Amino acid sequence: MLLNTSRNFLVSENENIEEAKVIVLGVPFDSTETTLPGQRLAPLEIRKALLSLELNELLDEVYDAGDVVVVHGSVKKTMERLEDVLNDIWKRNNRAVLLVLGGEHTVTYGVVKFLATKFNELQLVFMDAHGDAYDEYMGLKLCHATVLKRIDELGNVKIATVGIREELEELSNLKNLVSIDDLNREKPTYVSIDVDVLDPSLMPGVSDPVPIGLKVENVINYIKRFDFLVGVDVVELNPILENNISPRTAAWIMREIMMKVRM
Ligand SMILES: [Mn+2]
């Protein structure tokens, strides 16, 4: 079984994946986390928070695919499962915006790698307090701290970062890094939101908080710059550390995306 649709609190009971404009997919993986794990709990908590917001008719166009059944301890096997699930979703609907709920930031690599085979000229907006661009971290080639470097190596994804204030040095080694002003609003764009890009006062539920972060409205305004969103992920939320403000803020951003897609 690759997908868990029973254990979770789905945001929508809509069964019509073919017509959906937004497809929600959870990837509750946190095995490479080096400070304090707990990101595996985020998909459930973000869904709960979403359902506490007014969603009304927004949900008519949302299909919740459930959570990938990840293999804790194995990045490789989890990535293979994620790819299988994405392939299956793609066959049934290749127009919807994917809303991915992490999990740790490594999840982004699996999704972007998949989408880069489907879209020419894919653009990535990478929001994070950290560069995540180490070539290797604690002996691991693919983990939360190397994810941007691995994406850069795909070669055909134009990357713009937002909000990085730690691990800046390694960014200079990236080959496909551009300013966000150099991205094209009409081209296929994936937005990855490590929630620690936000100020820790607004997003306390993160394992590696960095002071002086973005405001929620900054994040939303960056997303609104792009007219052809193919996917957005919300990663690195750790509900063990804070489970009141943080999931609600993540859910608020998700709702903004649903509203944008509906327009
Ligand atoms: Mn981060």
91 Cα: distance to centroid of ligand 1 (angstroms): 32
- Per-residue confidence (pLDDT) for residue 2, from 0 to 100: 86
- Per-residue confidence (pLDDT) for residue 4, from 0 to 100: 87
4 Cα: distance to centroid of ligand 1 (angstroms): 27
130 Cα: distance to centroid of ligand 1 (angstroms): 5
12 Cα: distance to centroid of ligand 1 (angstroms): 29
108 Cα: distance to centroid of ligand 1 (angstroms): 12
Query: 67-71, 197-201, 247-251, 259-263: which has the minimum mean pLDDT?
Result: 259-263
128 Cα: distance to centroid of ligand 1 (angstroms): 5
How confident is residue 6, by pLDDT bands cut at 50, 70 and 90?
A: confident
Residues 34-51 have pLDDT tens digits of 889 999 999 999 999 999
120 Cα: distance to centroid of ligand 1 (angstroms): 27
Residues 169-179 have pLDDT tens digits of 999 999 999 99
- Per-residue confidence (pLDDT) for residue 1, from 0 to 100: 80
b/e burial code for range 77-105 (CB count within 10 A of at least 16 → b)? ebbebbbebbeebbeebeebbbbbbbbbb
pLDDT, mean of residues 121-139: 97
DSSP string, 75-120: HHHHHHHHHHHHHHHHHH-SSSEEEEEESSTHHHHHHHHHHHHH-T
Query: 55-59, 101-105, 191-195: which has the minimum mean pLDDT?
Result: 55-59
13 Cα: distance to centroid of ligand 1 (angstroms): 32
pLDDT, mean of residues 10-30: 94
pLDDT, mean of residues 87-98: 98
Q: Kindly report the pTM of this predicted structure.
A: 0.97
Per the listing, tokens 């539920």 go with 205
- Per-residue confidence (pLDDT) for residue 139, from 0 to 100: 93
3 Cα: distance to centroid of ligand 1 (angstroms): 27
Mean pLDDT of the chain: 96
- Per-residue confidence (pLDDT) for residue 9, from 0 to 100: 81
195 Cα: distance to centroid of ligand 1 (angstroms): 7
117 Cα: distance to centroid of ligand 1 (angstroms): 26
Distance, in Å, from the CA atom of 43 to the CA atom of 28, rounded to the nearest integer, reads: 6
Dihedral sign (CA 194, 255, 157, 95) = positive
208 Cα: distance to centroid of ligand 1 (angstroms): 7
Distance, in Å, from the CA atom of 258 to the CA atom of 154, rounded to the nearest integer, reads: 29
- Per-residue confidence (pLDDT) for residue 8, from 0 to 100: 65
- Judged against a pLDDT cut of 90, whether residue 5 lies above it is answered with no
- Judged against a pLDDT cut of 80, whether residue 7 lies above it is answered with no
- Judged against a pLDDT cut of 70, whether residue 157 lies above it is answered with yes
94 Cα: distance to centroid of ligand 1 (angstroms): 29
104 Cα: distance to centroid of ligand 1 (angstroms): 9
What are the residues facing 162 on neighbouring strands? 127
- Judged against a pLDDT cut of 80, whether residue 212 lies above it is answered with yes
220 Cα: distance to centroid of ligand 1 (angstroms): 18
259 Cα: distance to centroid of ligand 1 (angstroms): 26
pLDDT, mean of residues 156-170: 97
Domains of the chain: 3-262 (3.40.800.10)
pLDDT, mean of residues 63-73: 96
Q: What percent of the chain has pLDDT over 70?
A: 99
